[in-house]
Amino acid sequence: MKFKIPMFKIYWDENDVKSVTDVIKRGTYWATGPEIAKFEEKISQYVGAKYAAAFNSGASALHAMMMAHGIKPKDEVIVPSFTFIATANAPLFVGAKPVFAEIEDKTYGLDPQDVKKRITRKTKAIMPIHYGGCPCMIKELNEIAEEKDLLLLEDAAESLGARIGRKTVGTFGDSAMFSFCQNKIITTGEGGIVVTDSLETYKILKLLSSHGRPETQDYFSSTEPMDYITVGYNFRMSSITAALGISQLGKIEKIIEMRRNIASKLDRRISEIEGVSPMLPPERYYNVYQMYTIQVNDRKDRDGLQRHLSKKGIMTKIYFSPIHLTHFYRNAFGYKDGDLPVTEDISRHVISLPIYPDLGDADVDYISQSIAEFFRGEK
């Protein structure tokens, strides 16, 4: 179905086109050119981490992050069920077990109090997400991780540029992953990156991304045989992708400002409608609004609103339906309805509306007016 207002549109300019074109016209080093190291350096500087390792997707980056931190079979990693499925699958990639904890209703991130209850002697790490561009209660989770001597791994896929006060998302834990999939704050189409302050972790990440081969020289331009010191994968980000990432990163503050301005307009309009409420982050939480999610008081109204908006040509999505209730997790682990009542309840009431830098005032008006129509009974 083609929507009048889609969930997202990619923000791009001619510099993006030129950056990719320059690499293509170079006629070489499309896979392992200098753009990759440059992109990694720029991301690490932007986030405030010492090192960054680029990958061909966010899921690949999560997989490598698990391995780099020694997550292994029989370990447990505490994750939310209210997230994209890659978060929960990442521990499974290395034979570990994802353990679901509840979320709280302020940021839709892991609830620190419930996380405490889920810790066992097998727990190796806590891996929260920063939902839709809003930091989770990461300070409280960091305190728990330090107290219990656990790893804190941030799935910051949706939240590049978000911060609490002056401290940026991605710098609270041991490592963090950011995604550059097409609907993220900046995009390379597909791509991901892991940031860390640990040189040892960084070196392992780089080995894993390229077949377990130390990159002492470029494989494609060297006549020397190269050694392989561990099992690795072809998780590399290409030069073309990295060039696009560099160009996109140069616009990130403008993109975030545009998103926050649109979110502010939607907040004002949505707050005036009885039956629905916007998600308002805690004080000093800087939300970059990769998604714009609202809560509908009644679950039936939520589903009805989604149908109504679709008829009006406005795309919406439910971010997220609980992972523990998917076919795979029900069958593999025996999860059932009621296992995470808070998560399940929140999931029944949320709906994400379109948001992207080019969403105009007329579109904001149309979206909010269409929602108001529904709650006035004009369905």
Provide the CATH number for the domain around residue 280: 3.90.1150.10
| CATH value at residue 131 | 3.40.640.10
Q: Specify whether the CB–CB gap between 77 and 94 falls below 8 A.
A: no
Q: Specify whether the CB–CB gap between 246 and 39 falls below 8 A.
A: yes
CA distance 173 to 138: 8
90 within some domain: yes
Q: Which of 249, 270, 291 finishes a domain?
A: 249
- pTM of the predicted protein model: 0.97
pLDDT at residue 379 in the model: 57
Closest CA to 89 of 52, 118, 60, 117: 60
Number of domains in the chain: 2
Note whether 241 and 361 are same-domain residues: no
Categorize the per-residue pLDDT at 221 as very low, low, confident or very high, splitting at 50, 70 and 90. Answer: confident
Pairing between β-strand 151-155 and β-strand 123-126 as defined by DSSP bridges = parallel
Q: Is the per-residue pLDDT at 110 higher than 60?
A: yes
Note whether 116 and 169 are same-domain residues: yes
2 within some domain: no
Note whether 215 and 237 are same-domain residues: yes
**25 CB-contact burial (10 Å; exposed 0-12 / middle 13-18 / buried 19+):** exposed
Q: Is the per-residue pLDDT at 45 higher than 90?
A: yes
4 within some domain: no
Note whether 50 and 185 are same-domain residues: yes
Note whether 305 and 263 are same-domain residues: yes
Q: Residues 234-267: pLDDT tens digits?
A: 999 999 999 999 999 999 999 999 999 999 999 9
Note whether 119 and 207 are same-domain residues: yes
Note whether 230 and 347 are same-domain residues: no
315 within some domain: yes
CA distance 146 to 283: 24
Q: Is the per-residue pLDDT at 369 higher than 80?
A: yes
Average pLDDT of the residues of the chain: 97
84 within some domain: yes
Note whether 322 and 364 are same-domain residues: yes
Q: pLDDT exceeding 90 applies to what percent of the chain?
A: 94
371 within some domain: yes
146 within some domain: yes
6 within some domain: no
Note whether 98 and 222 are same-domain residues: yes
| Domain that includes residue 324, residue range | 252-375
Q: Which of 249, 274, 303 finishes a domain?
A: 249
CB half-sphere exposure, 189, CA atoms < 13 A: 10
CB-based contacts of 221: which residues, under 8 Å, 6+ apart? none
Q: Which of 232, 249, 266 finishes a domain?
A: 249
Token output for 84 = 């994209």
Note whether 19 and 37 are same-domain residues: yes
Note whether 264 and 303 are same-domain residues: yes
Q: Specify whether the CB–CB gap between 88 and 323 falls below 8 A.
A: yes
Q: Residues 115-153: pLDDT tens digits?
A: 999 999 999 999 999 999 999 999 999 999 999 999 999
Note whether 142 and 219 are same-domain residues: yes
